[in-house]
């Protein structure tokens, strides 16, 4: 989501029209926790999401389960002493500690956690890149979430998608002082789901072709280099330009798709003002398929960036973990009306990929959610 995935060349295999890059955010702040179990006594595959029964009967999810079972089956065929987990039904329980289906990448975290939990249960030897190809079939953006830190999804060329996978650009430890402030503008379910939105853009936007032929391939290389060089100026400029380019193709779709609203646009102006007054780029905005802003900045500039954001949005929830005594007030006039429309902030940073947890969400006696 710092270099956007938008457009599929194959809808069933979820193969993209361009490579993309994202920063995996810390699970201290935004987390999906998933427990997977299987038993001969389970009658059907079941998922409970945030306390409610949730369908697994979508073609995408079915494909993910099928691929995982296939890998498990290979292990069982090679070693007949292994329990036949591939033949048992699964019970999966998952909780997101942030709004689901609101443009905060819940499908990405959700599918990445689902694939990782089942791969762990099945004791699969496959690498994160191999598992990312399964996650990709669940939701494109999910493939990148199989890694922590800075991640690229290489679009690949093959028709069967075997080379369309996530790879690590750099681990979190390479550039650990990347911070992010999410300004939650709306946590409603979004207007146009990503899948149908991108289909419409591919079909109707003339700008889109230029984006995938020319704009993104160049930015993909430049952004990877900026990450390797920990060059925030370049990383930030590319991030903002790519967000603009993606939303321009949405506007260029017919009928147009609007993910940004007036609040989002005000935040863009605010970040521009901040960078102008600092005389360099110290913060970058980016927006996915919704109005919520993700603002990236480096820790060394936290006092200035959060100083401004707090001056404008200080009355909403989410500031408790920040050290407000260190904030530097903006050098320009902030109008009270600018603060309207943001409901909370989430202060976070670059994080690790899927982690094992001691927390178990399933009651092992009943096989049902605790
Ligand atoms: N923890 C989870 N486990 C399994 N599936 C999940 C989980 N969280 C979300 N999902 C699936 O993802 C769907 C939401 O995806 P959707 O693309 O609509 O929203 P989003 O991911 O929040 O937005 P975006 O991908 O644009 O950032 C849910 O309806 C559910 O099917
Ligand atoms: C705007 C984006 O966040 C697109 C997310 O699209 P999804 O991964 O949700 O789409 P599907 O593959 O159809 O499930 C940009 C990005 O994450 O790079």
Average pLDDT over residues 169-195: 90
Here the CATH number for the domain that contains residue 79 is 3.30.230.10
Are both 150 and 237 inside the same structural domain? no
User: Which of 11, 189, 194 for mutating ligand 2's site (highest number of atoms within 8 Å of CB)?
Assistant: 194
Question: What pLDDT band is residue 158 in, cutting at 50, 70 and 90?
Answer: very high
Is 355 inside a domain boundary? no
99: pLDDT strictly greater than 90:
no
163: pLDDT strictly greater than 80:
yes
104: pLDDT strictly greater than 90:
no
Q: How many domains does the chain have?
A: 2
Taking the centre of ligand 2 as the mean of its atom positions, its distance from the CA of residue 363, in whole angstroms, is 33
Is 52 inside a domain boundary? yes
34: pLDDT strictly greater than 70:
yes
Closest Cα to atom 12 of ligand 2: 140
Question: What pLDDT band is residue 101 in, cutting at 50, 70 and 90?
Answer: low
> Which of 138, 170, 202 is the last residue before a domain boundary?
170
Are both 89 and 235 inside the same structural domain? no
Q: For ligand 1, say whether the CB of 107 is within 6 Å of any of its atoms.
A: yes
Determine if the peptide bond prior to 247 is cis (ω within 30°). Answer: no
Are both 134 and 218 inside the same structural domain? no
Please list, in sequence order, all residues whose beta carbon lies within 8 angstroms of the beta carbon of residue 19, skipping any fewer than 6 positions away.
3, 152, 153, 154, 155, 216, 217, 220
Are both 146 and 236 inside the same structural domain? no
Q: Which atom of ligand 2 is nearest to the CA of 259?
A: 1
CA–CA separation, 296 and 240 (whole Å): 10
> Which of 136, 170, 204 is the last residue before a domain boundary?
170
Strand 20-23, strand 344-349: pairing? unpaired
The confidence score (pLDDT) of residue 136 equals 97
Are both 244 and 128 inside the same structural domain? no
Please list, in sequence order, all residues whose beta carbon lies within 8 angstroms of the beta carbon of residue 47, skipping any fewer than 6 positions away.
53, 54, 55, 56, 61, 92, 93, 94
260: pLDDT strictly greater than 80:
yes
Residue 182: domain span: 178-349
Q: For ligand 1, say whether the CB of 145 is within 6 Å of any of its atoms.
A: no
pLDDT tens for 110-150 read 999 999 999 999 999 999 999 999 999 999 999 999 999 99
Taking the centre of ligand 1 as the mean of its atom positions, its distance from the CA of residue 111, in whole angstroms, is 8
Number of residues that this document lists for the chain: 370
Here the CATH number for the domain that contains residue 211 is 3.30.70.890
Bridge-partner residues for 345, per DSSP? 183
Q: ipTM of this model?
A: 0.94
Are both 148 and 290 inside the same structural domain? no
pLDDT tens for 200-244 read 999 999 999 999 999 999 999 999 999 999 999 999 999 999 999
Least confident of 9-13, 76-80, 328-332: 328-332
Are both 188 and 329 inside the same structural domain? yes
Question: What pLDDT band is residue 105 in, cutting at 50, 70 and 90?
Answer: confident
pLDDT tens for 271-318 read 999 999 999 999 999 999 999 999 999 999 999 999 999 999 999 999
Is 46 inside a domain boundary? yes
Question: What pLDDT band is residue 190 in, cutting at 50, 70 and 90?
Answer: low
> Which of 170, 204, 233 is the last residue before a domain boundary?
170
The confidence score (pLDDT) of residue 106 equals 83
State what percent of residues in the chain have pLDDT above 90.
Answer: 90
169: pLDDT strictly greater than 80:
yes
Question: What pLDDT band is residue 107 in, cutting at 50, 70 and 90?
Answer: confident
Are both 193 and 293 inside the same structural domain? yes
The confidence score (pLDDT) of residue 226 equals 98
Is 1 inside a domain boundary? no
Are both 215 and 73 inside the same structural domain? no
Are both 144 and 213 inside the same structural domain? no
6: pLDDT strictly greater than 70:
yes
CA–CA separation, 301 and 307 (whole Å): 10
Taking the centre of ligand 1 as the mean of its atom positions, its distance from the CA of residue 217, in whole angstroms, is 28
338, 339, 343, 346: CA torsion to nearest 10: 100
Are both 274 and 326 inside the same structural domain? yes
The confidence score (pLDDT) of residue 187 equals 67
The confidence score (pLDDT) of residue 212 equals 98
Closest Cα to atom 12 of ligand 1: 107
Ligand that comes closest to the CA of residue 61: 1
Are both 117 and 12 inside the same structural domain? yes
In Å, how far from its chain's centre is CA 360? Answer: 24
Ligand 2 neighbours (beta carbon < 6 A) = 1, 4-6, 14, 20, 107, 139-141, 194-195, 288-289
- Quick one: which of 165, 159, 123 has its CA closest to 147? 165
- 8 Å CB contact between 239 and 286: yes
Q: For ligand 1, say whether the CB of 14 is within 6 Å of any of its atoms.
A: no
Taking the centre of ligand 1 as the mean of its atom positions, its distance from the CA of residue 145, in whole angstroms, is 13
Rg, Å, the chain Cα set? 21
Is 361 inside a domain boundary? no
């Amino acid at each position: 989501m710092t270099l956007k995935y938008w457009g599929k060349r194959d809808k069933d295999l979820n193969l993209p029209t361009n490579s993309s890059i994202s920063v995996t955010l810390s699970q201290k702040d935004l987390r999906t926790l998933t427990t997977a179990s299987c038993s001969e006594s389970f009658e059907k595959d079941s998922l409970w999401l945030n306390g409610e029964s949730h369908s697994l009967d979508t073609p995408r999810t079915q494909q993910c389960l099928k691929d995982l079972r296939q890998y498990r089956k290979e292990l069982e065929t090679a070693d007949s002493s292994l329990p036949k987990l591939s033949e048992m039904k699964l019970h999966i329980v998952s909780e997101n500690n942030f709004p689901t289906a609101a443009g905060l990448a819940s499908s990405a975290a959700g599918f990445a956690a689902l694939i990782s939990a089942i791969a762990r249960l099945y004791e699969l030897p496959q690498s994160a890149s191999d598992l990312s190809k399964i996650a990709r079939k669940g939701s494109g953006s999910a493939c990148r979430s199989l890694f922590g830190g800075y991640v690229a999804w290489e679009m690949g060329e093959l028709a069967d998608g075997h080379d369309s996978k996530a790879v690590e650009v750099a681990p979190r430890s390479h550039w650990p002082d990347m911070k992010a402030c999410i300004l939650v503008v709306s946590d409603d379910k979004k207007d146009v789901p990503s899948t149908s939105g991108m289909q419409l853009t591919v079909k109707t936007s003339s700008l889109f072709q230029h984006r995938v032929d020319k704009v993104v391939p160049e930015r993909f290389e430049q952004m990877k280099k900026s990450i390797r060089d920990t060059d925030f100026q370049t990383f930030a400029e590319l991030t903002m330009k790519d967000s603009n380019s993606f939303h321009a193709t949405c506007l260029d779709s017919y009928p147009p798709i609007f993910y940004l609203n007036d609040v989002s646009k005000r935040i863009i102006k605010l970040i521009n003002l901040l960078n102008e007054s600092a005389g360099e780029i110290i913060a970058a905005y980016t927006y996915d398929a919704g109005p919520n802003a993700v603002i990236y900045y480096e820790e060394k500039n936290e006092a200035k960036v959060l100083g401004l954001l707090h001056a404008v949005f200080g009355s909403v929830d989410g500031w408790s973990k920040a050290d407000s005594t260190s904030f530097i007030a903006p050098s320009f006039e902030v109008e009270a009306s600018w603060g309207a429309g943001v409901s909370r902030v989430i202060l976070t940073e670059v994080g690790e990929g899927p982690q094992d947890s001691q927390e178990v969400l399933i009651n092992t006696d009943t096989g049902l959610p605790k």
